[in-house]
Chain A
Amino acid sequence: MQQPELIPHLFRTEFRKITAVLCRLFGINHIGIAEDIASETFLSAVETWSYKGIPENPTAWLYTVAKNKAQNYINRNNLFTEKIAVQIKHSSSEKLEMEIDLSDKNITDSQLQMLFALCHPSIPTDAQIGLSLRILCGFGIDEIANAFLTNKETINKRLFRAKEKLRAEKVAIEFPHENEISKRLETVLTTLYLLFSEGYYSESQNTVLREDLCMEAMRLTSLLIENEQTNLPNVNALFSLMCFHSSRFAARKSENGEIILYNEQDERLWNEELISRGTYYLHQASQGNKLSKYHLEASIAYWHTKKADTKEKWESILQLYNQLLIVEYSPIAALNRTFALSKANGKQEAIIEAEKLNLANNHFYFTLLGELYTGINNDKAKKHLETALSLAKTQSDKNTIQKKIEILKIKVS
């Protein structure tokens, strides 16, 4: 591997590991120091490797340098030695130098503990996502800014406030108690779900970055599955949902980056391997007696991997949406439920139900009404789609609606 590719590759895989281990070692008050040491390690690599060539085992080199830097930091910083190192020494009989443990097991444990710490219920959700991207996924600030369609300053401020909050709340970097796991896991899963959605639905033009976000969400979720205590049905259900969604990556974007809607996708581009993994994890999830919203959403996604419109498919999707709405209402679930209703019970019934939804400033609502009225009352359909167009915020949504209006015009004339 050439050096220009090697460094970004190592950065992506190793930065987060070093950071997680050092965060855990230094405690929640010193996340910034952990990040700095990890960054400096990579700077040293660039400087040294440029002159001396790439070492035989670059990862081991990085770990050694990170350990030395951390050790130097501990020795150099009086304040740190007095306050933190004392605690570390007291909590362990081993020598301080042995504490910087970059073994696979400690890396995984540190990442899991950091995941629980960063997704603490006291931290605002967008800060949880930002911090997870930075600390657990090793994303750069500009990458995070790009994903959130905002600027570096905003992200820097957000992360700064989040770290302050972690400090103020004295969040411990530790695995939650056994009787707390399922409660704490809820927040972690919500964050992972949102992290995935951020990638899946992001407006960012950077396709690679968006897929990376989804992959990172899946990697963190699989960390939970690999851990016995967190290998729970709802975690498997969430992972299954992610597999089904990501199986459509290649099919849902055209060559020029436009979204291709589900029913216009070329299903030959769907990733069979991810679909079967999704099915496997959905099966794994079907143990226990608690039906989470991830179970329902994964089951809905499962039916969507079958392209053919059968009565069974839409009736199943309708009932799953009925249950999902009982568990947790969301406007998008209400709209999708109504679409499924039109497929299962007919458009007339769906129109009556749609008009009760009370989502008058939602462009998806008017897109749905446009869809439902198409073929029944094309004039009304066109009016609804035009309302949708005026409410749509993003260019890709506008393009999609515009296309529907054009098709309708051809039908009317």
Chain B
Amino acid sequence: MEEFALIMRHEDGKKVASPEQMQAWMKQTMDWIGGIAAQNKFVSGTGLPFDGARVVHSNGVVTNGPFGEIKETIGGIIVVKADSFEEAVAFAKGSPVLQGEGNTMEVRKIAKGDGVH
């Protein structure tokens, strides 16, 4: 069994949602994660709130971020256990983030600490 990171990408992080929408997303996200945990496949996860985010540039300049020229941003990340990329992708497909047009889920294998990867 491998571990995979499922990275939630929002096409436009600045989009403002209504409180009702946020409430609904929150429930859907919790149900989605709960469903993965019910299969004993959940490892860890965290949301990455946009509030107060900063971007540090190579010239030392710090800007309010994370939105620079591109609006796309990362909204959260969870780590799951899966036998294959296919299984991890199937988990990603359940993410409510995908209900937002243009949003994506990125699936990445976690490097093992075995010196090979």
When the two chains form the complex, which single residue of B30, B33, B35 contacts A356, counting CB atoms closer than 8 Å? B35
| A358 CB contacts on chain B under 8 angstroms | 39
| A338 CB contacts on chain B under 8 angstroms | 38
A179-198 at interface with B (beta carbon < 8 Å): none
Name the residue of chain B whose CB is nearest to the CB of A352.
B35
The 5 A-B pairs of least Cβ separation, nearest first, read A322-B34, A325-B37, A334-B38, A329-B40, A326-B37
Please determine whether A326 and B39 come into contact, CB atoms closer than 8 angstroms: no
Please determine whether A318 and B31 come into contact, CB atoms closer than 8 angstroms: yes
Name the residue of chain A whose CB is nearest to the CB of B32.
A322
Question: A340-357 toward B: CB 8 Å interface, digit per residue (1/0)?
Answer: 010001000000010011
Name the residue of chain B whose CB is nearest to the CB of A336.
B38
Please determine whether B33 and A326 come into contact, CB atoms closer than 8 angstroms: yes
User: Interface size of B by Cβ–Cβ distance < 8 Å?
Assistant: 11
B88 to chain A, nearest CB (A): 14
Residue B42 is within 8 A (CB to CB) of chain A in the complex: yes
Name the residue of chain A whose CB is nearest to the CB of B91.
A356
Name the residue of chain A whose CB is nearest to the CB of B29.
A322
Residue A108 is within 8 A (CB to CB) of chain B in the complex: no
Name the residue of chain A whose CB is nearest to the CB of B26.
A319
Residue A366 is within 8 A (CB to CB) of chain B in the complex: no
Residue A364 is within 8 A (CB to CB) of chain B in the complex: no
Please determine whether A322 and B39 come into contact, CB atoms closer than 8 angstroms: no
A50-99 at interface with B (beta carbon < 8 Å): none
Residue A210 is within 8 A (CB to CB) of chain B in the complex: no
Give the size category of A's interface with B: 10 to 19
B2 to chain A, nearest CB (A): 17
When the two chains form the complex, which single residue of B30, B37, B39, B42 contacts A319, counting CB atoms closer than 8 Å? B30
Contact flag A325-B30 (CB < 8 Å), given A353-B35, A356-B35 = no
Residue A337 is within 8 A (CB to CB) of chain B in the complex: yes
| B38 CB contacts on chain A under 8 angstroms | 325, 329, 333-334, 337-338, 353, 356-357
| B37 CB contacts on chain A under 8 angstroms | 322, 325-326, 329, 334
Name the residue of chain B whose CB is nearest to the CB of A321.
B34
Contact flag A345-B34 (CB < 8 Å), given A329-B40, A334-B39 = no
Please determine whether B31 and A341 come into contact, CB atoms closer than 8 angstroms: yes
B68-106 at interface with A (beta carbon < 8 Å): none
**23 pairs, A vs B, C-beta closer than 8 Å:** A318-B31, A319-B30, A322-B30, A322-B31, A322-B37, A325-B34, A325-B42, A326-B34, A326-B37, A326-B42, A329-B38, A329-B42, A334-B37, A334-B38, A334-B39, A338-B38, A341-B31, A341-B34, A353-B35, A356-B35, A356-B38, A357-B39, A358-B39
